[in-house]
Structure 1
């Protein structure tokens, strides 16, 4: 039995432990989906799936509450797969290993999947806990949210019967989210040209690792290091060494701030020691610049052999210049929502192949024009570099509604329970609510959740006390939903 079984509330923590035991990274969540369906059917609950794999479970109202407005609790089935470099873990086969560290639940060397596993566990716990009072209830679990919100994109009208949707994907107890950023992917493809290794050159591998990484929306304002940008910057500064770039790879997910990046370069043998000294100098520079944020940053250089030929000087310089010039981080803060990022970009993944490099960026913005303008800037950069830029996978933001009845109800319920006023927020991250508004334009929506830090990174952790507070709020809210 998991050590989480000692935590309260139950059965939420037991259900979360079970979720952790079933691998469910994006595109590999079917085993978890089948478990949930079997679990719900064993409890005599009505279950359905739609054409994209989303799960809908219905539970009748508590006796005497049949006239309440129907509510849908919503979570996503998949999790982000990130691990430390020294952790051996296959996310498609191996279970997550949660453990208790004081006031927090963490995972051993990997993402925990509290995003959105805790939300999913809370929805399922409501279904199986008959002490929770509620009106007509639906639980909607969507597919592949972290890799493009595919389940939300595929949601059809008239399937849900709820008037109110409570999204469980927020990550700060005491905050109520009533809006979120939209996003779009920008994929730059740059042709590469290679030639034979010049005489007198040797190949070596540059590595930057130990960065925190994290959520490319909710944590983009924290000033964390982006491994792709930092490594490109170093390469740009070494023009005097006439390095020949052979390979560049960094980041693994477009929606996670890159924690590691690697480059293979060819350097004149008599300049290897100079390169090593320059790397040590650069580490000192970064330690000074990022002292408050990145305490485990390391850079290393080692001689390696490779079958790849180096890029031509022109081709390598073009790639380095493109990476160095690509904007990253907070682009603009909102004038309307003070303290909220309006538009941002995460240079998430760089991969090089024999004849091309691919750069994947995720653009987020609270306003469509900000998203479009930044995509246009990347397209202009691509044209200057001789690259093709494809913009795809656009999803809308969730426009705040300050007249939302459910938002007012959550605020009043929270204040009554905890004696303080919650913060009403717009989050600079993608929540599925924006997509739900298209098939269900009249549905009243709100997003709540416990405190989760370090999502999308192996530092992900969920605060135990906040889960209890979130559960108290959720169950009280369901009881307080008004009549139709």
Structure 2
């Protein structure tokens, strides 16, 4: 695996990415990648700082004759989203990513690839070691835990960076330059209860599973109308409770706040006399879901499997309140940006629903490029769960990135893109959250843009990066650095 992708061009970028694939770096477990980057900076004799949050900053002096250029910070995040297929055995804290070439793409065996943002940080490492690239004063910023809450960017101190321009490498479509992004906020609702012990009376237990969905990035892919496993599961559970006296014992759907849930499952009990009819209903609902989503989801499955009877059930009032709240919870695109065709303004992702002893937790990520609409949708979702009797709290509120149509670096980037790649770039607004908004709040005078290679299906095991786009991304990035204007 290592040799195969390491021979791709540009060699320096793929060599570093090959090494990174062998370093476990799921969000929250970044000690090894931090150590690798710090050791790399020291090996080059460059000033290397690891701050108290876990961000790493490496400074590279200007090449001779370029000292008067505006100082630049190139930025990417170190963590990756740990998603795998249900039949894949993989421990993201220990096992390497098995990356391989699949035609025109690089992908991974049954897991997320980590090209988000691994290609970006590999490019930054390649720039730091380059002896031929001409550049002004450079800083390389590797941020901590972007995927779970942008904690590195949020913890960035206002006296760390010296740069005037920030180049973010976390976009996922080549040929696009981003000048703005959405902000976000996390909403958590919890139902607390005492487990209800019961004596089975001619009942059976069934595990109901929704699987085979595409999932994806809850910002980048939210407009595609992909099915949310939690919504499909609870839609069926409401029917099962109403028509078949089902009782809910356990539920687990989704596992990441910023990934559209691909799988969800629940254990229920029903009277044994209903078994045959109930299984027919499962098949009918699967056919209904395939009819509704067949043009989007090509492997959707709804299944029921008989399992051992549970010791406890979720109390019926809590069960009913939970099901009604999840069914009523708004999910997906809430509003497009008025006057800007095709760009999502506000959305929500019903990311996680899971039960444990005496507790059910629901996690939703709300995004918007409008602060007022973000708060309005948050209030609406909060109201649904409060009416259902849940405790609700919000956290991780981060700002969006306001567009600057007069950005000097945007002007240079457009000119460089046209000259180097012979194509006009599209200047766009991203619905997904980027660290630019948070960093810009701490460093309000930074001139910022974001760009990257073409990555498909980020945050899912189908993630892949287009090989040819990495080469073009590299040429554009290095030429842009060489053409940064003077102070």
Which TM-score applies when normalising by structure 2?
0.98
CA shift, 1:159, in A, is 1.1
CA apart distance, 1:129? 1.4
Whether contact under 8 Å (1:214, 1:457) holds in the other structure is: yes
2:204 to 185, 191, 202: 202
1:244-296 per-residue CA deviation (whole Å, 9 max, x = no partner) reads 11111100101000010001000000101111100100111111111111111
Residue in 2 that maps onto 1:77:
78
CA positional deviation for 1:195: 4.3
Structure 1 residue runs without a partner (length 5+): none
What's the secondary structure of 2:363's corresponding residue?
strand
- 1:455 lines up with 2:458 in the alignment: yes
What's 1:211 paired with?
Answer: 213
Distance (Å, rounded) in 1 between the aligned partners of 2:309 and 2:217: 33
Give the whole-Å Cα distance in 2 for the aligned partners of 1:225 and 1:355: 29
For the aligned residues, what is the CA RMSD? 1.1
Structure 1 contact 195–311 (Cα < 8 Å) conserved: no
Instruction: Name the residue aligned to 1:30.
Output: 31
1:344 matched to 2:358? The reply is no
In the aligned structure 1, how far is the partner of 2:309 from the partner of 2:397? 38
State whether structure 2 residue 350 is matched by structure 1 residue 367: no
Aligned residues of 2:333 and 2:348 also touching (Cα < 8 A)? yes
Aligned-residue offset at 1:408: 1.1
Runs of 4 or more off by more than 6 Å in structure 1?
Answer: none
Q: How does 1:327-342 map to 2 (within 5 A)?
A: 327-342=330-345
Q: Does the 8 Å contact 1:337/1:426 carry over to 2? A: no
- How big is the shift at 1:191? 2.7
- Paired position in structure 1 for 2:156: 155
1:314 paired with 2:317, answer: yes
Q: CA deviation at 1:308?
A: 3.4
Q: Is 1:298 aligned with 2:301?
A: yes
Residue pairs, 1:11-160, within 5 angstroms: 11-160=12-161
**Aligned partners of 1:337 and 1:424: how far apart in 2?**
13
Match of 1:444 among 422, 436, 447: 447
Structure 2 distance, partners of 1:357, 1:5, is 45
Which residue of the partner structure matches residue 420 of structure 2?
417
Give the deviation of 1:51 after TM superposition: 1.5
- Give the aligned partner of residue 274 of structure 1: 277
CA displacement at 1:336 relative to structure 2: 4.2
Per the TM alignment, residue 311 of structure 1 is displaced from its structure 2 partner at its CA by 2.5
| Distance in 2 between residues matched to 1:240 and 1:316, nearest whole Å | 15
Contact conserved, 1:59 with 1:127, CA < 8 A, in 2?
A: yes
**1:71-115: CA deviations, max 9, x gaps?**
000000100000000000000000001000010000110000000
Aligned to 1:465: 468
Matched, 1:390 2:393: yes
Q: CA deviation at 1:382?
A: 1.6
Task: Check the 8 A contact 2:205/2:310 in 1, yes or no.
Answer: no
Mapped to 2, the partners of 1:192 and 1:364 lie a distance apart of 30
Tell me the CA shift for residue 306 of structure 1.
4.4
Q: How far apart are the structure 2 equivalents of 1:144 and 1:316?
A: 34
Task: Indicate the residue corresponding to 2:238 in structure 1.
Answer: 236
In structure 2, which of residues 221, 226, 229 is the aligned counterpart of residue 227 of structure 1? 229
Task: Provide the secondary structure at the position in 2 that maps to 1:438.
Answer: helix
